[in-house]
Amino acid sequence: MEKRATSTLEEEFRRLSLNCLVTVEEDMTNFISDDFDNLNGYHQLFFREGISCVWFFYPLVTVFKAESVEVILNNNEEVKKAWFYEVLKPWLGSSVLISCDKKWRDMRKLLTPIFHFHVLNKFLAIMNKHSRNLGDLFDTFVQQECVDIYSSMPRHSFDTIFECILDKEINTLNHPTGSYLKAVEEVKFLAFERIHNPWFWNDFLFRLSSIGRKYSKCVQVLHNFTNKVISQKRKLKLSSEKEKQPATEELGLIYSETNRKKISFLDLLLDEHLKHGSLSEEAIREQLDTLLFAGHDTTSVSLSFCMWMVGLHPWVQDKIHEEMDAIFDNDDRDATLEDLRKMQYLECVIKETLRLYPPVTQVGRRVRSDLHFRQYTIPKGSECLVNIYVLHRDPEVFPDPEKFDPERFTPENSAGRHPFAFVPFSAGPRNCLGQRFALMKLKIVLSSVFRRYKFRSLNSRDKVNIISDFVLRPADGLQIQIRKRHQNFNFDSVYYYP
C-alpha cells in the first residue's frame, strides 16, 4: 500500500504503540478517549482516499468510505473476524459473533429464523412492560434539576434483553447491585484492558496475570448462571405436557401468528436442541451469552444519545410529540406493531442518532486473500478495520456531517445513497442478526417516553467526552432535565448544536 503518513504522524503512532507496552493505567478513560480522538483525527486526514494504514505492532488497514467499506464487508469469503474478537472467546466461545467458515455459516443459518418478525412480535409485551418501568423511574426524575440519563439506560436495557432471552426477570433498574450485571461489566472492562496491553495477547501470560485471574472468575460466574437457567428450562420443557408440539423442519415456522404464548430466545434454542439435536447445551449457552453481551450495551447507548440529542433540538422534539399525538391521541395504551410502522419521523431521528453516535464504532476482519480498492492492494493476512464513526461523517454523502438533521433519512433524501454509507449494524453477510429486534426496542421505548415526557439537555456536544471501548459511550454521562409534557420549559436558554 502506498505510504502516505508524514513523519509527525509516524511519531504520534509510535507514541501510541509504546503507550500500549506499559501496563494499562487504572484510569482507562483518558487512555481510551485520547486514542479514539487521535485515530479518528488521523483517518480524517486520509478521508479522500477512503483507506489508511498504521503500524500498531502489525499493519492495521482501516477503511472509511462507502466504496472501500463495501470491498471488506460485502465479501462472502472474508467472514473471519479480526484477532481482537478472540479475547471474548473464553466467555462467548464459538458463538455466531466469533466463529467463522462452516461453523459460522451453520450457526447463522440456524439462528436467522429466530429473528424473523413473526417471532420478534412475541417480545412486544416484554418491551412495553419495561418501557413502563422506565417511565416509573422517570416520574422520580421530573422534579430534579439534573439527571444523568445514561446511568439508567444500561440497567433498563439489560432487564429487557434478559427477559427476552432467558424468560427471567432480573430488575437491575431498581436493584443495580446484582452479581450478574456486575460480572458482565467487569468481563468487558478486563477484555478491553487485554486488547490494549500486548503483554496480555499471549494466553499463557494473561492467565498468569491478576486481570486474567479476575477475568476467569467473572466468566465462571456468568457461565454458571446461564447453565443453571438452561438446565432448569430444559427440565421444565421435558416434564411439561404443554410443551409437546408437532415439530417442524424449520425453527421459525413453529411460532405462527396463532401461537400467542410467552416465549424467549432460550425457548427457541431449546426447542431446536430437543427436537433436532443440532445444538448442544454448550452451544446454546454461547449464543445466549452473546445475545446478552451484544444486545444490552448497544441499545442503552442509542437510547441515551437519542434522548440527549432530542433534548438539544426542541424543534425535533416538537415534531416527535406531534407524531406521537397523531398515533396515540392521548391514549396510554401499549405500542403495537402497526403503531411502530407509523413512527416514520421517530425512525429518522433514531437513524440520525445512529449516524452520529454508532454504538459499535469499528468492526474488524482478517483478510484471507488479496483485496483491491482503487490503486491499492490490501495484502492477504492483513487485519482490517471498518471505521463506522468516520464513515458516517463523509461530507460527500452527508453534507454538514456534524449537524443533527433527521430529514437526511426521509425516503426522498435516502434515495440513491450508497448502501454501505450508513452501516450502524454493520453490513454484508456478517451484519447484525438482531437489528430488527434493536430497532423495535428503540421505537417502543422512545415512543413511550416521548408520549409522556420532554427533555432539556444541559451539556452541549462539545462538552461531552466520548469514548469507545466495545461500544461508544459518554465518559461522564449525559446531563438532562426531564419534565412531564404539560410542564413548561424555557427552551430559550437551551444550548443546541445546529
Give the whole-angstrom CA distance, residue 376 versus residue 437.
Answer: 38
Dig out the grid coordinates for 102 from the structure: 462452516
384 is in an annotated binding site: no
- How would you class 423 by CB atoms within 10 Å of its CB: exposed for 0-12, middle for 13-18, buried for 19 or more? buried
Give the torsion through C-alpha atoms of 363, 349, 343, 452, to 10 deg. Answer: 120
Stretch (H or E) spanning 128: helix 124-139
- Residue 193 and residue 211 in contact, taking contact as beta carbons nearer than 8 Å: yes
Task: Using alpha carbons, list the distances in angstroms from residue 404 to 58, 308, 316, 441.
Answer: 37, 12, 10, 22
Give the whole-angstrom CA distance, residue 496 versus residue 498.
Answer: 6
Give CA angle at 480 (348, 319), nearest 5°. Answer: 30
- Residue 454 and residue 483 in contact, taking contact as beta carbons nearer than 8 Å: yes
Give the whole-angstrom CA distance, residue 166 versus residue 65.
Answer: 39
| Residues whose CB falls within 8 Å of the CB of residue 386, separated by 6 or more in sequence, listed in order | 62, 63, 64, 69, 72, 73, 362, 363, 364, 365, 423, 426
19: how many CB neighbours lie within 10 A of its CB? 14
| Residues whose CB falls within 8 Å of the CB of residue 84, separated by 6 or more in sequence, listed in order | 195, 364
With cell 476467569, the residue in question is 216
Query: Among the residues of 196-209, which ranges form H helices?
Result: 203-208
**Whole-angstrom distance between the N-terminal and C-terminal Cα of the chain?**
39
Dig out the grid coordinates for 220 from the structure: 465462571
Dig out the grid coordinates for 234 from the structure: 430444559
- How would you class 356 by CB atoms within 10 Å of its CB: exposed for 0-12, middle for 13-18, buried for 19 or more? buried
- Residue 49 and residue 4 in contact, taking contact as beta carbons nearer than 8 Å: yes
Give the whole-angstrom CA distance, residue 154 versus residue 301.
Answer: 8
Look at residues 486, 487, 497 and name the one whose alpha carbon lies nearest to residue 457.
Answer: 497
Stretch (H or E) spanning 33: helix 28-45
As annotated, the binding site includes 432
As annotated, the binding site for heme includes 432
